[in-house]
Structure 1
Amino acid sequence: MNFLLEALFGGLMAGMLYSLIALGFVLIYKASGVFNFAQGAMVLFAALAMARFSEWIPATLGFDNKLLANTLAFAAATIVMVGVAWVIERFALRHLVNQEGITLLMATLGIAYMLDGVGQMLFGSDIYRIDVGIPKDPMFLFQDTFQGGVLINKEDLVASLIAACLVIALSLFFQKTSTGRALRAVADDHQAAQSIGIPLGRIWVIVWSVAGFAALVAGIIWGSKLGVQFSLSLVALKALPVVILGGLTSVPGAIIGGLLIGVGEKLSEIYLGPFLGGGIEIWFAYVMALMFLLVRPQGLFGERIIDRV
C-alpha cells in the first residue's frame, strides 16, 4: 500500500507540473484560436532569464542576500517576458489579424526558433542552476497510518502546490474578470470582438504576457529540478498530450489531463514496465493522446466544433 500511495502522489505532483506548462498552450489557444508551438521555447527563455539575472544582480549590486536577489531576478524576468509579449504582438501578430489558423500556427513556429536563438545569444548556452530555496529533502507522511510512512519529495510537493495555486488563479481570471471574458470573445471571432470595441492588440499582449508568466513559473520549477539547459524546451512536448486529453479550450481540462497523465505514467511504469521491458513513461502519454484523438478528438472538456455548410 505504501508503494502504491507513493506512486500515486508522485504521479499527481508530476501531473500538476505538466498542467502548468499545458496552461500556456490553452491560454494562447483561447485568445487566438491557434496552437502555440512556441510555449516550450518560452519556458526555456524565461528560465534562462531567471537563472542569469539571479547571477548578475548580486554581482552588479554587490550584496549576498539570496532572497532579495531571487526576488529582483523574478521581477526582472517577468518584465522581460512582458516585453517579449509586446514584441510578438507588435511585429508578428498585429500583421496577421483575421488570417487563417495555419498562418498563425507557422508564426508560432517562427517565434519558437527566434526565442531559442535569441535566448542563447543573450543569456548563454551553458547549463545553469536555479536555486530559489525550494527544499529538496524527502519526508515521510502518514507514519501513524502506514508502517514506515509514505515517502514524498519536498521539492515536488512545493512545486505542485505552486502550480495548483497558479492554475486556480488563472481559472478565476478567465471566468470572473472582464478581461478574461474579452479573451474568450477574441478567440471565438476576431472581427466580431473588434466590432464591439475589444482592442485586439492589447488583448493579445495580455494573454501572451500571462502565458509568459506561466512559462516563467514552469521554467523556474523545472530549472530547479533539472537545471536550465536547451533540453528544457523539450519538456513542453509532454504537455501536448495533456491539452489533447483535457481539451484545447479548457483550463480545468489542462489540470485533469495533467493529473491523469502523471498518475498513468507512474503506475504503468511500475506495474506494466516489468512485463513490457520498461521505458513506458516515455511514450505512455502519447499513446493515451492518440486513443483520445480516435475516440473523442475535442478532449474531455473541449468544445465540440460543428461546421454547418
Structure 2
Amino acid sequence: MGFFLETLFGGLMVGMLYSLIALGFVLIYKASGVFNFAQGAMVLFAALAMARFAEWYPKWFGFDNLVVANILAFITAMAIMVVVAWLIERLALSKLVNQEHITLLMATLGITYFLDGLGQTLFGNDIYKIDVGMPKDPMILFENVFDGGVLISKEDLIAAGVSALLVVALSIFFQKTATGRALRAVADDHQAAQSIGIPLNRIWVIVWSVAGFAALVAGIIWGSKLGVQFSLSLVALKALPVVILGGLTSVPGAIIGGLLIGVGEKLSEIYLGPMLGGGIEIWFAYVLALGFLLVRPQGLFGEKIIDRV
C-alpha cells in the first residue's frame, strides 16, 4: 500500500506540471479559437532565457548572489515573453483576423520553429542548469503507518504546489475578471467582439503574455528537474493529450486531465510495464487521448459543438 501511495503521489505531482503547460494551450485556444502548437517552444524559449540570464548577470555586474541573479533573470525572461507576445500579435495574428482556423494553426507552427531557432541562436544549444533553490533530497512520510514509509520528492512537492497556485490564479483571472470575459467573447466570435468595442489586438497580446508567463514558470520547474535542453519542448508536448482529455475550452479540464494522465502513466508503468515490456509511460497519454477522440472528441469538460443546418 505504501508503494502504491508513493506512485500515486508522484503521478499527481507530475500531472500538476502537465496541467500548468496545458493551461497555455487552453488560454490561447479560448482567445483565438486555434490550437497553439507553439506552447512547447515557448516553454523551451522561456527556460533558456531564464537559465542564461541567471548565468550572465553575475558575470556582467560582478556579484555572486544566486537569489538576486534568479530574480533579475525571471524579470528579464518575463519581459522577453511579453515582447514575443507583442511581436506575435503585431506581425502574425493581426494580419490573420477572421481567417480560417487552419490558417491560424499553420501560423503557430511557423512560430514554433522560429522560436526554436531563435532560442538556439540567442542562448546556445548546450544543456543549461536552472537553480532556484528547490531541495533535491526526498522525504519519508507515514513511517508509522506503512513499512518503510512513503518516499516523496521535496522538489516535486514544491513544484506541484507552485503549479497549483498558478492554476488557481489563472482560473480566477479567466472566470472572474473583465479581461477574462473579454477573452471568452473574442474566442466565440472575433467580429462580434470587435463590434462591441473589444480591442482584438490588445486581447491577443494579453493572452499570449499570460501564456508566456505560464510557459516561463513551467520552464523553470522542468528546467530545474531535467536541465534546460531542446528535448524540453517534447516534454511540453505531453500537454497535448491533457487538453484533449480535459477539453480544449475548459480550464478545470486542463487540471483534471493533467492529474489523470500523470497518475495513469505512473501506475501503468509500474503495474503493467513488467507484463508489457516497459515504456508505457512514453505512449500511455497519447493512446488515452486517441481513445477519447474516438468516443468523446470534445473531452471530459469541453463544449459539445452542434452545427445546425
The secondary structure found in structure 2 opposite 1:139 is: strand
Which runs of at least 4 in structure 1 moved beyond 4 Å after TM superposition? none
Aligned to 1:86: 86
Q: What TM-score results when the alignment is normalised by the length of structure 1? A: 0.99
CA distance in 1, matches of 2:142, 2:167: 27
Deviation at 1:142, TM superposition (A): 1.7
C-alpha displacement of 1:141:
1.2
Alignment of 1:294-305 (within 5 A): 294-305=294-305
The alignment's C-alpha RMSD in Å is 0.7
Aligned twin of 2:187: 187
Pick which of 144-153 and 162-171 moved more: 144-153
CA distance in 2: counterparts of 1:231 and 1:62, whole angstroms? 32
> SS of the residue aligned with 2:237?
helix
Deviation at 1:149, TM superposition (A): 1.5
Hey, what does 1:282 align to over in structure 2? 282
Match of 1:221 in 2: 221
* 2:117 counterpart of 1:117: yes
Residue 73 of structure 1: aligned partner: 73
Partner of 1:2: 2
Write out aligned runs for 1:144-155 (5 A): 144-155=144-155
- Partners of 1:18 and 1:114 lie apart in 2 by 24
Quote how far apart the aligned CAs of 1:145 are: 2.4
Q: How does 1:1-309 map to 2 (within 5 A)?
A: 1-309=1-309
Task: For residue 283 of structure 2, give the secondary structure of its aligned residue in structure 1.
Answer: helix
Distance 1:38 1:212 in 2: 10
Query: 3-state SS of the aligned residue for 2:183?
Result: helix
| C-alpha deviation, 1:61, in angstroms | 1.2
Rounded to whole Å, the distance in 2 between the matches of 1:61 and 1:90 is 34
Give the TM-score taking structure 2 as reference length.
Answer: 0.99
Q: Secondary structure at the match of 2:110?
A: helix
Deviation at 1:95, TM superposition (A): 0.3
Report the CA distance between 1:308 and its aligned residue.
1.1
1:148 Cα deviation from its structure 2 partner: 2.3
Q: Which amino acid aligns with 2:281?
A: E
AA at the equivalent of 1:68: V
CA distance in 1, matches of 2:272, 2:146: 25
> Post-superposition shift, 1:154?
0.6
Amino acid of the structure 1 residue aligned with 2:4: L
* Structure 1 segments unaligned to the other structure (5+ residues): none
Deviations 1:96-134 (A, max 9, x none): 000000000000000001000111101111111100101
